[in-house]
Chains A and B, each alone.
Chain A
Amino acid sequence: MDNEFNILRNVNQVAPSPFLWTRIQQKIEQHKANRLAPKWAFSLAAVVLLVISVDFVLIKKQKAKPERDLVESMSLMPQNDFYHE
Chain B
Amino acid sequence: MNLSHSTISQLYHEYQKLVFNLALHYVQRIEDAEEITQDVFLAIHESIGQFQQKAQLSTWIYRITINKSLDFIKAQRRKKRFGFLTSLFFEETGEERYPLLSFDHPGYALEQKEALSNIFNQINVLPDKQKTALILMKIESKSQVETAEIMGVSPKAVESLVQRAKTNLAKNLVHAEGKAN
Tell whether A58 is near chain B: CB-to-CB under 8 Å.
Answer: no
Residues in B with CB closer than 8 Å to A27 are: 38, 42
Residues in A with CB closer than 8 Å to B41 are: 24, 28
Report the contact-size class of chain B (Cβ under 8 Å from the partner).
35 or more
Tell whether A12 is near chain B: CB-to-CB under 8 Å.
Answer: yes
Q: Is the CB of A20 within 8 A of B16?
A: yes
A interface footprint on B67-103 (CB within 8 Å = 1, 0 otherwise): 0000000000000000000000000000000000000
- Among residues of A, the one whose C-beta sits closest to the C-beta of B12 is A21
Q: Is the CB of A11 within 8 A of B25?
A: yes
A11-B9 contact given A16-B17, A28-B45, CB 8 Å threshold? no
Residues in B with CB closer than 8 Å to A11 are: 25, 105, 107-108, 116, 139
Residues in A with CB closer than 8 Å to B105 are: 11
Tell whether A62 is near chain B: CB-to-CB under 8 Å.
Answer: no
- Among residues of A, the one whose C-beta sits closest to the C-beta of B19 is A16
- Among residues of B, the one whose C-beta sits closest to the C-beta of A28 is B45
Chain A binding surface, main DSSP class: helix
Contact of B116 among A7, A14, A21 (CB under 8 A): A7
Q: Which residues of B5-50 are within 8 A (CB) of A?
A: 8-9, 12-13, 16-17, 20-21, 24-25, 30, 33-34, 37-38, 41-42, 45-46
Tell whether A76 is near chain B: CB-to-CB under 8 Å.
Answer: no
- Among residues of A, the one whose C-beta sits closest to the C-beta of B18 is A13
Residues in B with CB closer than 8 Å to A8 are: 116, 119, 138-139
Residues in B with CB closer than 8 Å to A83 are: none
Residues in A with CB closer than 8 Å to B37 are: 16, 20, 24
Tell whether A51 is near chain B: CB-to-CB under 8 Å.
Answer: no
Contact of B107 among A4, A12, A21, A28 (CB under 8 A): A12
Tell whether A74 is near chain B: CB-to-CB under 8 Å.
Answer: no
Q: With the chains together, A28 CA to B42 CA distance in Å?
A: 6
What is the interface of chain A, defined by CB distance below 8 A to chain B?
A: 1, 4-5, 7-17, 20-21, 23-24, 27-28, 31-32
Which 3 pairs, one residue from A and one from B, show the smallest C-beta to C-beta distance? A16-B20, A12-B107, A11-B107
26 contacts between A and B (CB under 8 A): A1-B170, A4-B169, A5-B166, A7-B116, A8-B119, A9-B141, A10-B112, A11-B105, A11-B108, A11-B139, A13-B17, A14-B17, A15-B16, A15-B20, A16-B16, A16-B20, A16-B34, A17-B30, A17-B34, A20-B16, A24-B42, A27-B42, A28-B45, A31-B45, A31-B46, A32-B2
